Amino acid sequence: MIVFNKENRVFTLHTRNTTYQMKADWHNILLHTYYGPRVSGGDLSYLIQYADRGFSPNPNEVGDKRDYSLDTLPQEYSSCGVGDFRIPSIEFEPEDGSRLADLRYAGHELYRGKYKLEGLPAFWGGQEWETLVICMKDAAAKMSVELYYGVLEEKDLITRAVRVVNQGIGAVRLQRCASLCLDFQGDDFDLITFDGCHTMERCPNRAPLRPGIQSVNSLRGTSSHHHNPFVILCNHGAGEDYGLCYGAMLVYSGNFHATAERTQLENNRLVLGIDPYNFCFTLAPGESFTAPEAALICSPNGFGQMSRQFHRALREHLIRDPCKGERRPVLMNNWEATYFDFTADKLVEIAEGTQGLGIELFVMDDGWFGSRDTDLSGLGDWSVNLEKLPGGLEALVPRVQALGMKFGLWIEPEMVSENSRLYREHPDWALGVPGRPQARGRSQLVLDFSRREVRDSIYEAVRRVLDSADISYIKWDMNRSLSDVWSAALPANRQGEVYHRYVLGVYDILERLRQDYPNLLIESCSGGGGRFDAGMLYYTPQIWCSDNTDAIDRLRIQYGTSFCYPVSAIGAHVSASPNEQNGRVTSIETRGAAAMSGAFGYEMDLSRCTPEEREIIRRQTAFFKEHYDLIQRGDYYRLSDPFADPHTAWEQVSPDRREALVTLISGPTRAAAPFRRLRLKGLDPALRYTVNGQGAYPGDVLMEAGWPLPIPRGDYQSMQLYLSAL
Ligand code: GLA
């Protein structure tokens, strides 16, 4: 619910459990007054403290009222160069070369429903949303800055976006435009970021904010394996089930920064948006720029509640699933089974090996096109390699379908190999500055997706492939970071637009694919989880979580990923043991239990499995299908922290709390292992549950007293408990 109090010009945004408030004060400065647990309302600006602080200047119109400073007051969207020395939200340069932004409240609009962002991913929905648009103006530069707020009350979700319009008569260069600024007066926080690298993504890191700026970002052109565009601010004592925390997410897949600042007055500011590095949009008179959407959830009851609200909001109001509530197929991908070394017959042999195991979709990974026998060549030539696949997809797909499976394939449309027909014909289609040899990544270059003709040509090639056979799924990959970012299609003074235009180009093609192939399931991927963000989830309902398929490393990766992203978005496969990435040996049961909490599949030659393993796989896929709703759409509870505890445990609970699935994977074994109990969460205390079909255990007992952990015999054992209310 959004309430505007005309008299004191206070905007109050209520969600079910939280309240967010701002006020246009008597100088038309938009002050942030409150964000936290839901309160009844009123004008909370009494909380704001005013004091004269040395070297914190005062706006001209306040005269000698020295306790009024933009440098000390909590700003809703921070200005630049006019007396607030904390992180600016916006920077622009009109033709006079000045770099000031002095934003004042100039009006607002309130309506039911959700605002839309042209060409950008965003949360969606109907009348359950409310929108507030606050118009801010810099009078001297004639720039208008519209602050968009979407309120989804039920999910505690507040979205934000920003649109800047040049209302002057000269060009303006926009050099920074954050999506979100959040000021807190009088709080003390920890910052949690989700960091890592290729094959070890999204590991949580937590530290108290210290004086100055702490920031994570990506300058790789993608959101990156290295830092995720999702961060948490929380009380020092906050944990899974207690304490105040704020999750902030950027719905964007390119360069970003999440920057927190602890100020001279020990207050905190968080700014989230496109990273200003090599960002500069020239806005001619009348032109506008829209910054990507950001989304906030505040939880007064710890991280668990925040995550569950994000999961619901993403599943129900951001992800567009072509399977529309139906179960997505259990897949088998040939990558780790064959790498580039396959023929149609070999693939069919592998597909035959899956018979009777419950696999529903066969995915042919990299290596089926052009001269793609290694990763040194072929990208860009999206036509079937007829030596490997005689008769093309037209011949192969029916053979796979005859085995009762759908067919899917891998593509990497944003890339080009120098050794390809496409590159020989269009060398200038790759990003790169003339006269400077480009850096290669995985021996490949990046196509300039900011250019329409490049996108159109690639799209047509992809269409030809998709139209040549009955293809149900594609894995859209992207295997390097952007470098040498320069577009032959833009003049020198507009090169600062390329990073963002590239991302818009990717979104454009993905949207076209969605429109032209509404039933096509797309899984995105960037060397695993290099572009695991809400922007991609808007187009692709699942993302390959990591190139690391080791079940035990995955526990950490999936744990970190779960803070923001739902199980249904997390591509997870059972692969061979010893594992390809780290050589670890784990049982097929453990690998299955870990992968099942994701968009589930297999990535190994199943024909090589023993009859016992095949029987276990058959049971795994049957179990997954039987409990699909619970696993994919249940409320997710983290029961342990794999970075701190020897074991990893999590739980999915059905919305009516009548069913739950607990999964536990133990760590390395030891003699004289201690006796331990696992306390369950989210059950109905008044109900009694059977556990794996046995007994009648009261919900309160299972939650308060727990369940004894099995004493492991061997490393990395797994246990699944299925609870059903009597
Ligand atoms: C990336 C993906 C892998 C696989 C290879 C193919 O690394 O993450 O799953 O598709 O590319 O080259």
- Between strands 331-333 and 599-603, the pairing is parallel
47-71 b/e with 16+ CB inside 10 Å = b? Answer: ebeeeeeeebebbeeeeeeeebbbb
Distance CA 110, CA 131 (A): 6
Contacts of residue 27, defined as CB under 8 A and 6 or more positions apart, other chains included, come to 59, 61, 62, 68, 104
Distance CA 635, CA 631 (A): 9
- Between strands 10-14 and 18-24, the pairing is antiparallel
CB 156 within 8 A of CB 309: yes
Distance CA 316, CA 225 (A): 26
Answer yes or no: is pLDDT of 267 > 90: yes
Specify whether 138 is catalytic.
no
Ligand 1 centroid, distance to 412 Cα (angstroms)? 9
Q: Compute how many other C-beta atoms are within 10 angstroms of the C-beta atom of residue 136.
A: 27
Per-residue tokens: 284 = 């001619």
pLDDT attached to residue 324: 86
Contacts of residue 297, defined as CB under 8 A and 6 or more positions apart, other chains included, come to 18, 155, 156, 157, 158, 246, 247, 306, 309, 310, 313
- Between strands 648-653 and 635-638, the pairing is antiparallel
Residue with the smallest CA separation from ligand 1 atom 1 is: 527
Count CA atoms within 13 Å of residue 87 on its CB side.
29
Distance CA 57, CA 102 (A): 14
Distance CA 350, CA 151 (A): 49
Nearest alpha carbon to residue 193 among 222, 225, 215: 215
| 701 Rama class: left (phi>0) / alpha (psi -120 to 50) / beta | alpha
The β-bridge partners of 227 are 195
Ligand 1 centroid, distance to 333 Cα (angstroms)? 11
Distance CA 267, CA 269 (A): 7
Per-residue tokens: 617 = 């796989």
pLDDT attached to residue 325: 83
What is each CA distance from 402 to 12, 240, 390, 399, 474, in whole angstroms?
A: 59, 48, 18, 5, 20
pLDDT attached to residue 526: 98
pLDDT band at 185, cuts 50/70/90?
confident
Answer yes or no: is pLDDT of 659 > 90: yes
* Active-site residue identified among 187, 613, 629, 684: 613
Specify whether 95 is catalytic.
no
Percent of the chain with pLDDT over 90: 98
pLDDT attached to residue 41: 82
Q: Which of 377, 476, 547 to mutate to test the pocket of ligand 1 (most atoms within 8 A of CB)?
A: 547
Residues 613-646 have pLDDT tens digits of 999 999 999 999 999 999 999 999 999 999 999 9
What is each CA distance from 470 to 405, 467, 668, in whole angstroms?
A: 11, 7, 45
Residues 103-151 have pLDDT tens digits of 999 999 999 999 999 999 999 999 999 999 999 999 999 999 999 999 9
Average pLDDT over residues 25-40: 97
Ligand 1 centroid, distance to 546 Cα (angstroms)? 10
Residue with the smallest CA separation from ligand 1 atom 11 is: 527
Per-residue tokens: 521 = 């399931």
CA dihedral 524, 526, 529, 530 (to 10 degrees): -130
pLDDT band at 284, cuts 50/70/90?
very high
Ligand 1 centroid, distance to 400 Cα (angstroms)? 22
* Active-site residue identified among 93, 240, 533, 550: 533
Percent of the chain with pLDDT over 70: 100
Ligand 1: nearest atom to the Cα of 547: 8
pLDDT attached to residue 221: 98
Ligand 1 centroid, distance to 441 Cα (angstroms)? 14
Average per-residue pLDDT for the chain = 97
Ligand 1: nearest atom to the Cα of 365: 10
Q: Compute how many other C-beta atoms are within 10 angstroms of the C-beta atom of residue 167.
A: 16
Residue with the smallest CA separation from ligand 1 atom 2 is: 527
Average pLDDT over residues 274-282: 98
CB 442 within 8 A of CB 479: yes
Q: 138 by DSSP, 3-state: which?
A: strand
Note the residue count of the chain. 726
Task: Supply the DSSP symbol for 328.
Answer: P
Distance CA 612, CA 632 (A): 27
pLDDT band at 85, cuts 50/70/90?
very high
Count CA atoms within 13 Å of residue 469 on its CB side.
22
User: Does an H or E element contain 230, and which?
Assistant: strand 230-234
Q: 520 by DSSP, 3-state: which?
A: coil
CB 371 within 8 A of CB 419: yes
Report residues whose beta carbon is within 6 angstroms of any ligand 1 atom.
335, 365-366, 375, 410, 477, 479, 525, 527-528, 544, 547
Residues 314-332 have pLDDT tens digits of 999 999 999 988 999 999 9
3-state secondary structure 150-175: EEEHHHCEEEEEEEEEECCCCCEEEE
pLDDT attached to residue 641: 98
CB 597 within 8 A of CB 650: yes
Distance CA 122, CA 478 (A): 22
pLDDT band at 187, cuts 50/70/90?
confident
Average pLDDT over residues 27-41: 96
Q: Compute how many other C-beta atoms are within 10 angstroms of the C-beta atom of residue 512.
A: 15
117-128 b/e with 16+ CB inside 10 Å = b? Answer: beebbbbbbeee
pTM comes to 0.98
Count CA atoms within 13 Å of residue 461 on its CB side.
19
